[in-house]
Structures are given as C-alpha cells and as structure tokens.
Structure 1
Amino acid sequence: MYSEALVQLSLEALGCTQKDLALRLSVSATQISKWKKGEHLSFEMEEKLRKISGVGDRNPEFIIWSGSRENANKWERLIHSLAEMARLSDETGYSAEPLMDDNGLLCWNIFDTLREMGVKIPNEFPIELDVHWDSEDEADDFWEVVHSNQYSSAIYNIFKAFTDVYGFYVAYVADLINDDMELFDSPAENIEPCLMSLAATKVEIASELAPNFKAFKYKIERDYEEWLGLVKARAFRVGAPLRAELLDLVRGGHDGLGHIAEAESLGLNSSRIHPDIYINELLVGMRIIHQVLPAIMRKLGMEDEFKLDDNEFNIH
C-alpha cells in the first residue's frame, strides 16, 4: 500500500536515483520500478521506506497531494480544525467519530474525495488560510476566511454533511451490517468506508472547482443503491425489521437525514416497522409466484383440475 508514494518521497529525501535507493535496500532497480508502479510492499520494506522518507505513520499519498511536507502540515492543521467544528455543531445525537481521526485517515480521505470530484489541490497552501487563530475574538475572522476560500469551504461543507449522513447510518444501517458475516463478505462492507464520498454528493460545489462532480455523484449514488439493496435483501431474508427506508441515505438531503437521526436518538421516531419498507419486496414475491406457479401446475398436469376455493381465505 502506498508503494509509489513511499518510493517517491524516499528518493526526494535522499536526493538519489532509483539505482542508489535499490542498493541501499539491497534490491534490484527493477524492483524499485515495480514499486513505483504500485506493486505491493512487504511490511518490512514499507517500514524501511517510511524511515528513509521520514513520513513516520503519516499517509505518504496525502503528503504528495499536498505538494510538500510543509503544505501537508498546514492542510492537516486546517482539516482537523474544520472537522472539529463540524463535529461540535453536530445535532444528530450520534458522534461522528471518523471526524476525530483516531485512525489517521481523515486528511487522506477528504483529499481523495476532492480529487475524485476533479478538484485540483493547489501546489501551495492558500496564504489567506496560513494563519493561527488562537483567540475567541478571531473566530469570526477565521470563519469569514474559511467560507470565502473555495477549498476550505468545500471541506467544511462536506464535513457538515458527513455528520448528518453518519448519524443516519449509525441510527438505521450499522446494526444491520455489524453482526452479519454474509454482509461483511459482500460489497455492502463498503458502506461505512465510503460515507465521506456519499456526504460530498449532498453538497453544492461549483463545477469550476469540481469538474467531475456529476459523474462522481452518479457513480457514488449507484454504488450505494446496490450496497443498500444488499442490506435490505439480507434483512428481508433473516426477518430483521427495518426502521427506516435505507435508500433515503442516498436520496435524501443531508439536513433531512440529520433531522431523522436526531429524532431517532431522542426516541421520537416510532419503533414500529415503517409500512412501506417491505412493500416492494412483497410485490416482487407475489409477481414471482404469479409467474412460477402456473408453470409448476402445467408441469404436474394440474392446470385443468385445480380450482381455487375462496372460502379457505375467510377468517373465522
């Protein structure tokens, strides 16, 4: 993982050629070329390259996307500040834990999402954002700058949408997946890791900044319709009740999702199964029976002698 980025940063740190790096690692120059093309690194070799490049536990791709280690430090500080503000203003009642960045993936995740939308990360960190805001009196100035910069504004808006999307996910989807090994081994396992991308589809972003946004939105929504369809089908098979229409996670605006999650966290939503949740599955089942049963009866030669007794359906 990250083999290409680690090799690039190691070459930059040493100021050497691929051949020199190969000698230092006791591998062939051909192997270095393979790593630069994305071939898998062993854990031992990854550790060596992390030490040589000086990235430590940080994500090497994020550093490269930032343009430099210095830029990466500044972006990291800003991203964590925006994530914390979004998390503190979350009203769903469910803590958006990924924004706390305990696993160290948040910066990479948001940059990866922006890049998928076609956003070009600037080579230099925006100078207007390169300010330390230490006092409460400067808070208003900080937010004015954040909202006026297209990059920081987009990041914050995605984080805000993420708190609502994540709240709905925890309230209605997570439990259906967490204890089901069949879903763990299916594409449905992508639902939680890709929530940042789903949140991004619910934010208005200028086409000049994100030229690939429409294609990105279409792909993410189609993927989630498939993944959530697997969860619904599995729930139907095992008799697990659905307390909301899971596809609302795709179709609903983030504000609406946040309000639904908040009502659930406060115990205001009905605990009964929503009446429309299984109606499509029931209709599909009835249509299958309508098509299959006549074929079975013909196969058994019963189509002429079978008569339906309506009295059997009466409730006494």
Structure 2
Amino acid sequence: MSREALVQLALETMACSQKELAAHIGVSPAQISKWKKGEHMSADMEVKLRTAAGIGEMDPDFIRWAGSLAHAEKWEKVIKYMAGIAYECAETGYDTEPLSDPDGSLCASTCRVLDEMGVERPDGFPEELDLDYETADMDELSHLLESNPYSSLIGKIYDALNDVYGFYAAYIADLIYDEKLDLFDTAACDIEPCLISLAATKVDVEENFARKTRSFTHRTNREFEEWLNVVKEQAFRCGVPLKAELIDLVNQTHNELSHSAEAESLGSNASRIHPDIYMNELLVGMRVIHQVLPAIMKKLGIDQEFELAPSSLSA
C-alpha cells in the first residue's frame, strides 16, 4: 500500500490542507509530509486516514488508478468477475491461488502491472461495462469484456497467470517451502508475489496501448532468472533434485507451461529425471574419485611417480 496515495486521498476527500489533516488525526504536519515520502505508518494511523478518506479496506493505489472510489468499486466488480471466470477455466490441474484473491490484493497488483506496462490509466469507467454481473447474459458480457482494451488485457493476463502459476505449483512451490533449502530470507521469496507480472510478459498486447511493454518484459524476465537461479543453486547445494528446468518458467510460452504443469498433475512426469540430477550425480562421483584416488595411489606406492600425460586425454 502506498502511504502517499492514502494521504492524498484523505486530503482530497476532506478538501483540507496538510495542516488541517494533521490536526484532525492528531499528528504534526511534518508527520504528514514524512508519510507522503514513504515513512512507516502505524496500523492505528492507517485506520484514521482510511476513515478520513472514506475508503474502507480498499487499496488506495487502486483507487488512484481508477480515478475515484466510485470507479474503483466498479472496476473491482469487473476484476473479480474476470478472475472468477479464469479461475474456473484453469486447465493445469492446479488451483490458481492469486485469482481467488485470499489477501485482497488482486485489484492493486493488477493495476500496478498495467502501470508498469505503460498502460494509460482509464479516463473514468466505461459505461458499457457498468452492468449487473450476476444477471447479465454471459455471451453478451463476454463480448463486451473482450471489446474493451482494459478488460481484454486483464483477461489475457489472468489466463496466462493460470498457466504460469500451474508451472510454479507443479515444480517450484515445494522447493520454496522446503525447510532444507532455507529460502525464506532470499530473493526467491519474490517469485510467487510477482507471478502476475511474469504472466503479463507472456500475452500479446499492442505497444501503442502498453508503451513500456518491452522494458517491462526485459526487467521482469531478468529478475525471475535471478530468483530462479537462487532456487536452483540452493537445491544443488542441498542435494534436492529438480523435476523440471526452472528457467522454463521464463522462457516458455504460457501454453507450454500449461502443458508441463498438466503433465505433472496427471503423473505423466513421474518417470522423468531432470538433467540437473544427472549432473549432480556426476559431480558427486567426481568428488568421491578425487578423495579416494590419492589414497589408493599412496597405498600402491605410485603417488610420487604417477604423471598423467595430456595426450592420453585426447580422443
């Protein structure tokens, strides 16, 4: 949650100055300025500012993105409806937890990704989407959502998120939560919260609508490669085998990820061993030879006179 956005909403709702807002909630004007710069805000102060802004539990960044509380409430209906449809249509064999929105962050994370992709914030709420989503005709509603550029892109991202999350659940989640790997205080913990960003890199979008897509994709892929390599390196050190090439999460299309996840959920990959396991076994064997061979040579009395000619290594 952006403290700056929350303070700004409170100022706008009360139509007051920072000094007046400070007096209203019982802090100094300087404290208001510090919050606007990102300083920590106590839970008690957050409640007071939310009350002053009249936004309840809704994320202030999402409200700022939508343009107003009323528009945010309408966009929330659209987002929850589309998330529900996508959740039910997942084909990976895994439930896409982010789409069920257990922590209420889906709206905020969605608008954050659109911002990072360079999508202009909506100018108001589209009238054609201001419907009763419980009673509207599904075919007509589906057409309207696909026709609007914002809801169309959101729908594509959620469909891709199904596949990205499926691969994560199948091959990565158990590693993240494996106490043996001790990844809880590493950059690998950023993988799951940012899966929606990775999903957004895998959809087709017009660059004139999402102007920063290329830089967003490059940055997101680079971050995920770094995070996944942390997992791979730690798994190797701990002797924990991988069931797939984790970097596929970045390199494969979301459809390819869906097929891999579905195969794992159906048990089709049970007999497959990832090449990393063979490499690990090879390195373990080399370490054993490195430790045992000198002792054998010494036992035979040839440790001082033995010399390996480079020519004997050639094919």
Please state which band the TM-score falls in when normalised by the shorter chain.
Answer: 0.7 to 0.9
Equivalent position of 2:117 in the other structure: 117
Q: Is it true that 1:209 corresponds to 2:218 in the alignment?
A: no
* 1:210-289 equivalent positions in 2, closer than 5 A: 210-274=210-274, 276-278=275-277
Secondary structure at the aligned position of 1:57 is classed as: coil
Gaps of 5+ in 2: 287-302, 310-315
Equivalent position of 1:149 in the other structure: 148
Q: Distance in 2 between matches of 1:201 and 1:82?
A: 19
Secondary structure at the aligned position of 2:140 is classed as: helix
Equivalent position of 2:200 in the other structure: 200
Post-superposition offset of 1:283: 9.0
Gaps of 5+ in 1: 288-302, 310-316
Cα deviations by residue, 1:212-250 (Å, 9 ceiling, x for unpaired): 000000011111111111111111111111111111101
Post-superposition offset of 1:182: 2.8
Moved more, 9-18 or 88-97: 9-18
Contact (CA 8 Å) 2:239, 2:280: kept in 1 or not?
A: no
* 1:1-316 equivalent positions in 2, closer than 5 A: 1-135=1-135, 138-180=137-179, 182-274=182-274, 276-278=275-277, 305-308=305-308
Q: Distance in 2 between matches of 1:156 and 1:75?
A: 13
Which amino acid counterpart does residue 140 of structure 2 have in structure 1?
D
Post-superposition offset of 1:268: 1.6
Post-superposition offset of 1:133: 4.0
Q: Distance in 2 between matches of 1:75 and 1:115?
A: 15
Q: Distance in 1 between matches of 2:53 and 2:147?
A: 35
Q: Distance in 1 between matches of 2:239 and 2:70?
A: 53
Q: How many residues align?
A: 294
Contact (CA 8 Å) 1:243, 1:271: kept in 2 or not?
A: no
So what's the TM-score if we normalise by structure 1? 0.87
Q: Distance in 2 between matches of 1:127 and 1:280?
A: 58
Q: Distance in 2 between matches of 1:98 and 1:230?
A: 23
Contact (CA 8 Å) 2:167, 2:257: kept in 1 or not?
A: yes
Superposed CA RMSD: 2.4
Secondary structure at the aligned position of 2:216 is classed as: helix
Which amino acid counterpart does residue 99 of structure 2 have in structure 1?
L
Secondary structure at the aligned position of 2:244 is classed as: coil
Q: Distance in 1 between matches of 2:33 and 2:223?
A: 34
Post-superposition offset of 1:161: 0.3
Q: Distance in 1 between matches of 2:195 and 2:285?
A: 34
